[in-house]
Each structure stands twice: as C-alpha cells, then as structure tokens.
Structure 1
C-alpha cells in the first residue's frame, strides 16, 4: 500500500510540474514575438490674475494623447505598428477656446529579412487631424484652412527597412503612392493642398518616401524621440520635397507624472512655401506600458521608454 501511495505521489508531482512549465514556456514565446510600448498622457495648464498690474488674461488648457508602438518580431518577420493621437485646447478669457494640438498619425509596416538587419518591406500610413483649423489662431469666425481629412495624407509603398536595434528604424520606399484628400467641400478649390481643379477631393502623387525614427536616452528618465521624413513626387516637380521632422523630449518625474516638450517642423510646397513650426510644453499625468522584454537576442534593450 505504501508503495502504491509513493508511486501515486511521484506521478502527481511530475504532472503538476509539467502543467506549471507549459504555460510559462508559451508566455515567454509570446512576449518575445510581440512588444507593446505605449504612453498615455494628460497635460494641464492654468493661469489666473487679479489686480495684476503687469497684465494678463485668465486661461486654462489641456492636452491629451496616446503614443503606441506595437511590434511583432519572430524569425525573419518584422511587423511594426504605430498609433499617435493627440488633441488639446486652451480657453483664454476674452478670446475663447482655441485648439493647441491636433494630430492623427497611424502607420503599419511589414518586412521580411533578406540580410542582417535589412528587410524587404511594404506598408501604409495615414496622417490627418480631428477638427477644423482657422487662419486666425483657430478662431471659428475666421477663414477655415483645415478640417478632418482636409487635408488627409495616405501613403502606400514598398521598399526596404533597416533596423539594427530597437532604437533606430529607417525605411526607404522608391515606389510609394501618396494621396492627398480634401473632403471638406469648403476647401476644395484649385491650389489648396495642390488640388488641380475646383471641386477636386483628392490629389494623387507617386514617388520616393524615406522615414526614420531615432530614440535617444539622454540620461536617466530623460528620453528624446526623433522622427523624420522626406517625399519626392516623380510625376511633378520632384525637386519640391516634402520634409518633416518631429521631436518629443520626455522627462519623467515619477511613475505617473512627466513633462513633455514637442517640436514639429514641416515644409510642403503644396501647403505654403514656408517652413511650418509647432512647439508645445506640458506637465501632467503619464502612464507608460512596456512589457520590458527583449524581442530577440540580437536586439538592444528597450530602456529608452522605461
């Protein structure tokens, strides 16, 4: 009887160990294939004046955003997805409410490795904004100059991607189709965002698109993310380049509070023949999501977002 009980106990222990090991192995494999990094932010600012001889106007503002990077990497496959959404407003006494941030940026890119760190790739991206913009500081009574999908930019192309580590990705697409959409009828006039005729709702271009993302850890809890792009239209004035740069400096105070400084530069001949600049500064709540795992042995760490 004792022998039977001993054998049963050993069998039960081996079975329990096997059941514990299997889920752990599956979880480890899943984590190595998928990496999810994200930041959710809510920035607030406020100023109040009473009998202040230096002058000033009471104002309150807010800025909310999400920035997610979802990457699948297994074997020779690399699939990167980026979601950037942001919107903010400021209400100033005597002036009213104006938007201070408005961005929708979605992209996906799949690659198949053909040499070390090099991938044959194809993907698409969409850039637009949530709400209307106006010539006089977003004053609704002023002339409208933009709206949701007016303009909206859709890129679809194929090329190569170079990704030596998690902090740098460069994609070169010698074959890239670019559509500019202007779906607001009030803005569908010839010359607006490059439209050829009154009433046109889109403009087609075909050319070269290059993009790069470079993440720098300046020091502990201070990180800079640089994003740059260049587009040249083969079909019409290829020398009229569309150039873009975005820099986000994140200074983490603690787990839930951080400071963000953003800088955006854009030159697009079809919009205005001047360099456009936008800068924001905010202090507020930030919640980061990061699985904290290496996606493969050849990749560097992901400490830039921690």
Structure 2
C-alpha cells in the first residue's frame, strides 16, 4: 500500500511540475530593433617625378556612412535609412574639388494588412553639404547648388511590399514634394522649377514610387540597387523625375573593401538631360549588425556580413 501511495505522489508531483512549466509564458528574446551599418573611408593618391608621360600630383578622400535601422514587431514595420557621403580631391595646379556630396534621410512606417503588404506613410529628405559649381566644382566659377539648394522633402502615404530583407517597394499615390532653394544667389525664376525670382520653394503633389533591391552576386560581392519615380499631378505629369543608384561592394577582408557607385538622374526642373555620376574607391570599410530581425529568412541579410 505504501508503495502504491508513493508512486501516486511522485506521479502527481511530476504532473504538477509539468503543468507549472507549461503555464510559464514563452519569452520572445528576438529584438524588435535591428541595425545594419557601413562606415567607409576611401583614399586615392598619385605622384609624378620626371615622368615623361606627364601627370599632376593629387590626393583624394571620400568618407561615408550608410545605416539601416528597422523596427519589426507583430504587424508593425518601421524602417529608417541614413546615407551621408562627402569627398574631395586636391590636384597640383588646380586645387581642391568636390568629388562626392550627398545627404539622404528617409523613414517609412507600415502596418501589415496582408502577407508582406503594409499600409504605410513616410518622409524623405535629399540634399548636399556644400556648394557645387561649374567647371568641375571650381569655387571661382558660377554657383550651381548649395546646402538645401536644392533640397527635396517628400511626405506621403500608400502601400509597401516587403517579401524579404532583400526587396522593398513603396507606392505612394498621395505624395507631397517640396523643392527648397535656400541660397539667395540661386533664387531666380526657372532654377529648379521656381516660378518667380526670390521664391525659396516649389510645391508639387503627385505619385512617388521607390524600390530597393539587394543582390549577392557571389561571396563578398554584393550590389545594392535603389530606384525612384515621381509624377507631379498638378503640372505636366508626363515629366517624370527618374533616379537610379547602384552600389557595388567588393569586400577584400573584414576592414578593406572596394566600392563602385553609379548614379543616374533625370529631372526636367534641373537640366533637360540625363545626369550621371560614377565613383570608384578602395579603402577602409567597417560593417556591423546589431539585433536579430523577425524576418523568416535571416540569411537574406548575408549580403552585409
């Protein structure tokens, strides 16, 4: 009898312990915030002495940061992007010229309403740090641009499609776009679409579509493609503002990499020709990743590792 009672007691104890463990809520240790970033410093230099083929001594540098900060929890998705870059080249007999100058900030919040689809709203700002001039950015030449001249601010709402970490597309049928020209020397009619002399801004309302596609070509070689299109409902909707940016990153080791960038832009209000910018740099690049995303396929982020 004692043995039977002992067996029943042990069985009840094990059962109660198992029930208590089952009642303990499972703690989700996955972080809602994740941060991916790249810091770069590219250097180039050339020196000549009694070189019959000719050439001018020069030294250049280019520094930049590219951060992607994402919040994912439940049906909420909030992505923030910070891209900053500036570079100069000094050539003997010519002086210092700007080779890179970009400020690109954006934020987009979405609430999932169907698998991979989000109702979203967000804003973005694009401008530059310093003045741009004709004749290869010669500061003695005619000024073409400056900080917030132009500066582009977009605020809009629409939908975002994000099937994985490598592809994001946002469509905003309702998007307000302001073009700012805060440099008084550039505030005359026709510049960046300004209607009258002395105007400091231009308002447009229309459709904005953006997309980012990250492609891992092979081990340590990846390509980031970014594109956008804007159509102004108010005036000449057929005059699309088109832009494309491609960044090819070839990683040599943990701290050294080669970057090739290509930027294409067509904006009727700037010049009626396609603009092209291309850079090549070899130097220091430090990548980091903090936080674990909730995405089903974590390997989608392997392009950055």
TM-score higher than 0.5? yes
Residue 239 (structure 1) aligns with: 238
Whole-angstrom CA distance in 2 between matches of 1:195 and 1:299: 47
Measured against aligned partners, the alpha-carbon deviations of 1:82-131 in whole angstroms (never above 9, x if no partner) come to 00000000000000000000000000000000000000000000000000
2:47 aligned with 1:61:
no
Distance 2:301 2:72 in 1: 14
Equivalent residue for 1:91?
A: 90
The alpha carbon displacement at 1:296 in A equals 3.1
Partners of 2:300 and 2:117 in 1: CA distance: 19
Aligned partners of 1:154 and 1:178 also within 8 Å: yes
Q: Provide the secondary structure at the position in 2 that maps to 1:137.
A: helix
Deviation at 1:289, TM superposition (A): 1.0
**8 Å contact kept, 1:81–1:108:** yes
Equivalences, count: 281
- Residue 6 (structure 1) aligns with: none
Q: Larger Cα Rg: Structure 1 or Structure 2? A: 2
Query: 2 CA distance for matches of 1:198 and 1:266?
Result: 25
Alignment of 1:16-31 (within 5 A): 28-30=29-31
- The corresponding residue for 1:81 is 80
Are the aligned partners of 2:165 and 2:295 in contact in 1 as well (CA < 8 Å)?
A: no
Deviations 1:237-296 (A, max 9, x none): 000000000000000000000000000000000000000000000000000011373423
**Partner Cα distance (1:258, 1:298) in 2:** 26
Report the 3-state secondary structure (helix = DSSP H, G, I; strand = E; otherwise coil) of the residue aligned with 1:193. Answer: helix
- CA–CA distance in structure 2, aligned partners of residues 293 and 261 of structure 1: 29
Alpha-carbon distance in 1 for matches of 2:167, 2:211: 7
Distance in 1, matches of 2:298 and 2:46, equals 46
Paired position in structure 1 for 2:197: 198
Instruction: Say whether the 8 Å CA contact 1:259–1:284 is kept in structure 2.
Output: yes
Structure 2 spans left out of the alignment, 5+ residues: 1-24
Runs of 4+ in 1 over 2 A off after TM superposition: 291-301
- Whether contact under 8 Å (2:164, 2:295) holds in the other structure is no
- Superposed CA deviations along residues 151-191 of structure 1, whole A, max 9, x for unmatched, are 00000000000000000000000000000000000000000
**Using the alignment, how far apart are the partners of 2:298 and 2:51 within structure 1?**
56
1:123 and 2:131 matched: no
Tell me, yes or no, if the aligned pair for 1:118 and 1:160 is still in contact at 8 Å: yes
In the other structure, the counterpart of 1:160 is 159
Corresponding residue of 1:255: 254
Secondary structure of 2:30 counterpart: helix
Once residues 34 and 293 of structure 1 are traced to their aligned partners in structure 2, the CA distance between those partners, rounded to angstroms, is 8
Query: TM-score, normalised to structure 2's length?
Result: 0.90
SS in 2 for 1:302: helix
Map 1:1-306 to 2 at 5 A. Answer: 28-30=29-31, 33-291=32-290, 293-297=292-296, 301-306=300-305
SS of structure 1 residue aligned to 2:199: coil
How far off is 1:304 after superposition? 1.1
What SS class does the counterpart of residue 303 from structure 1 fall into? helix
**Are the aligned partners of 1:292 and 1:302 in contact in 2 as well (CA < 8 Å)?**
no
Instruction: Judge conservation of contact 1:222–1:250 (CA < 8 Å) in 2.
Output: yes
Deviation, 1:75, is: 0.5
CA contact (8 A) 2:222 2:303 kept: yes
Q: CA-to-partner distance for each residue in 1:178-233, whole Å, 9 max, x for gaps?
A: 00000000000000000000000000000000000000000000000000000000
Q: 1:139 to 1:272 in 2, by over 3 A?
A: same
**RMSD of the alignment, in Å?**
1.5
